Amino acid sequence: MLMKTTRADTGAPGRVPRGRHGWQRRIEELDPVRDHQEIHRITAGYEFPWDYQRSLEFALFRTYCVPTISELLQRTGEFEKRPQKRYDDTALLMAELVEHGYDSERGVESLRVVNRMHGKYDIDNDDMLYVLTTFIYEPIDWVDRFGWRRLTPNERLACFHFYRQVGIRMGIKNIPESFEDFYRFKVDYERKHFRYTDDNHRVGTYTLKLFCSWFPAPLRPLVAQGVYALLDPMMLAAFGFPAAPIWLQNASRRALGVRARFVRFLPPRRESKAARDRHNRSYPGYPVGYRPRDLGADSDNHRGSRRRAA
């Protein structure tokens, strides 16, 4: 069922609150069902933008442990030929929904692009449901482990209701109506479907190389080991990746813990960072000068049209 909610806008959600926990106090004044767009924008754009971006990178990575998903991605060739663009398209389209709201002009345009991209393929509804779960529960798990504070019940429920409404607008069927039921679906799905295939390994390797490409060449072997250190045993087995040494696993977690303690003492953000990802390489300066329709599989044509019109 489509839900009418308060609309996310492009400005700050009210006056910037005082104190490190000011945004959290604002969230507690809101209703996680009715106001889920505003709550989720504060959480992902103001409170935890870095954590949300990193956790969604690993969330997408996690979906490639599913053979039907990795087989489709391998068949399209996009992750082999243009992994950076595929990453940028997905990350920025999802960020548009968070930043502007799924029923805003830019949000509707973003969903149109997403649905056009998916509509080219025969994708099982359960696979779509599973991908949707990763956008909800992987960031929650990441923030609880590595964020400067844990998410509140309002933030957890708002995230669920936000992506449930996104899923409805994507035409995904049979989305559970409760946070707990959808989480159980995720756990059961992974237990049933996660297993090694060569396609998993190929797509996982393309993605790993993409992550490493964001760092100077001398650091890339260590970055790869750092990624292994943050993957759980189910993911390592499904990709056929080696486990990182125990000392590196511990060091990675400690480093993220140190970062969290540092961030805890920073002032509250005055502007949302949801749609600004420093790893974006395909659309320089985004969102300035771009529309959501410039993203996606056909975006080269859109950018050419935009340049000719300029």
State the pLDDT at residue 119. 86
Instruction: For residue 142, name the pLDDT band (cuts at 50, 70, 90).
Output: very high
The stretch 23-29 carries a mean pLDDT of 96
State the pLDDT at residue 301. 44
State the pLDDT at residue 125. 97
The stretch 152-174 carries a mean pLDDT of 97
Give the chain as a 3 state SS string: CCCCCCCCCCCCCCCCCCCCCHHHHHHHCCCCCCCHHHHHHHHHHHHCHHHHHHHHHHHHHHHCCCHHHHHHHHHHCHHHHCHHHHHHHHHHHHHHHHHHCCCCHHHHHHHHHHHHHHHCCCCCHHHHHHHHHHHHHHHHHHHHHHCCCCCCHHHHHHHHHHHHHHHHHCCCCCCCCCHHHHHHHHHHHHHHHCCCCHHHHHHHHHHHHHHHHCCCHHHHHHHHHHHHHHCCHHHHHHHCCCCCCHHHHHHHHHHHHHHHHHHCCCCCCCCCCCCCCCCCCCCCCCCCCCCHHHCCCCHHHHHHHHHHHC
Instruction: For residue 10, name the pLDDT band (cuts at 50, 70, 90).
Output: very low
State the pLDDT at residue 6. 46
The stretch 245-268 carries a mean pLDDT of 96
